Structure 1
Amino acid sequence: MHADVPPAFHFVLAQAPTPPVSSRLEVPPQPATEVRSESMVGTHPMLVMGTPEAAFLWPLATFTPPDNLQLFISAKLVHPAWKTRKPDFSSGSYTLQADAPFDLAAVRDGKLKSLKVSISKAGAASPEWKGVEVQVKAIPWHSQLHPRSASVPRLLYRVFGSPGNTFLVHELSGSPDFHHVLKVKFKDRSFTAEQLALGPLVDVNDMPNVRGARLKLGDSPQGTLLDEKPVSFKVERELLFHEVVAP
C-alpha cells in the first residue's frame, strides 16, 4: 500500500488554555442503543500492527452487520516460521483474514480467545503466512456502530499500542467516515500500558473530520492531547487509509 514512505515528520501538540464550557469539544448524542439479534459472524478482515509477541489488530468495521463492531484487539500471534525470525508488522501494511467465519462479539466478550487466520502484505496476490494462531490477550476499547450515528465534527485520533510501539487510530463515528492508522514515536514522554489501554484522544485543532483533513506524512499541524500536557512525536508510517460509507 505504501512501499516508499517519506521521512517521518514532527507533529507538535500545543496545549491550549482551557476553553469555556460552551466551546469545549462536544460529541453529538448518538442514537439510543437498540436490543438487536444481528449476527456478527464473518471473516472480519483486520489490520495487523506490532510484533507476533505484542500484536494489535484493528478490524475494518463498517456500519452494517456483521462488521458493525469497532474494537482494538491486543493479541499474540503464533506461527512455526517465526521461531527463528519474527516479522515486524509495523514496517508495512499487513492484513489478516480468518480461515473460517467467527463471532466478533464473542471476541469482544472474552468468550472466543483463539482463532486461525492467514496474513497478507498489502498488494500481495497470496497470503504470506497461513495457519497463524491468534491468541487474544485483551480488548482495550470497543464501540458499536449504528448507520444513523452522527459524525464527530472534529478530527480525532486515539493512541493505542504498547509503551515501545504506539499508534494513532482514527475511529469511525458516523457516515461518511474513514479508517486511518499511523505508527508514531513520542519524543518527550512515554505512556504506560494502563494509559494506552484507555485510548487517550488527540484532537487536531481546527481540523474537520473529513478525509481531506486527515494527518499526512510531511504535515506539521497543531493539536491537543485532551486533558494532558503538550507532547511531540514523529509520524513514522501510514499503515491504513480506508473510507467507509453507510448504505
Structure 2
Amino acid sequence: MKIDFREYSPNQRIAIIAASELVGYKSCFVGIGIPSDAACLAKLSVEPELNLIYESGAIGALPLSKSYSTGSPSIAHGADMITDSLSVFSDLQAGRIDVGLLSAAQIDIFGNLNSTVIGDYDDPKIRMVGSGGAHDIACLIPNLIILMPHDPRRFVDSVDFATSPGSGRDIKKIRDQLNLAEGPSILITDKAKFIMSDEGWLLHSILDNFTFAEATEGLPWSLKPPITGPIETDPAIISALEQINY
C-alpha cells in the first residue's frame, strides 16, 4: 500500500515500518518508546500472535498508552503474566525470544549503540540512565532491529561510549569467538531502512515520497543509493495507529 508518509509524525513513520519487519516472529523483546509503539502496532495488525516481552517482567502485554520506563504501570496492560527480570533475561539467554527492538542516543556505522554518556565518560556533557537490558539484548537476541529518529546528532562516526555492541567487520569476529548473536541487522529511521553488511550499514530503501538526499542528510557515513524501491506498508498497520495513544 502506498501512503503519504509525510502525513505522519517521525515516530509514527518509524513504528509503521518497524511493525512490517515483525511479520513472522512469535516473541519480541521490546524497549521503551518507539520500540514499544512498533511492537504494539504489529500485534494489532500484521502479527496478532506476537508475544511482547518487557524486561520488567511483563509477558504478553499490549500497552496502548505511552510508557516512560519499564516500570510504568501501562506496561502491564493486557499481560498474560507478570514475572521478574531474572526470568525474562533467563529466557533471552536460553534463546526463547526471537527478535528485539532497541533505540539509543547514538549509533555508528557498525551499529554500536550509546545510551550512557555524551562526551567523555569521566566528564560528560550529558550522563544518561544507561543500558537497562539493551546490552544483554544486543548480545543475545538472534534478530535485532534498531529504531532511530533521523537526528544528525544521533548518527556518528564513532559512539562516545559503546553501551551495546554492533556488528560488521571486527565486531562480528569477536561475537563469533564469544558465541554471541550476530547483532543488529536492520536500522529504521523516519526516512529510510538500512541493512547491516561487513562494511557497516547499507541503505536498503527509502520511504515513499522521500528522496535520497533527505534520507541521508546529516549522516556522516558514505552511503550509496538504495538497493530496492520505495518502502510501502500494509493498510492494516495504518488502521491500527488509531488504537495507540501517542
TM bucket, shorter chain: under 0.3
- TM-score (norm. length: structure 1): 0.27
Q: Which structure features the higher share of strand residues? A: 1
Q: Which structure features the higher share of helix residues? A: 2
Greater Cα radius of gyration, structure 1 or 2: 1
- TM-score (norm. length: structure 2): 0.27
Higher relative contact order (CA 8 A, sep 6+): 1
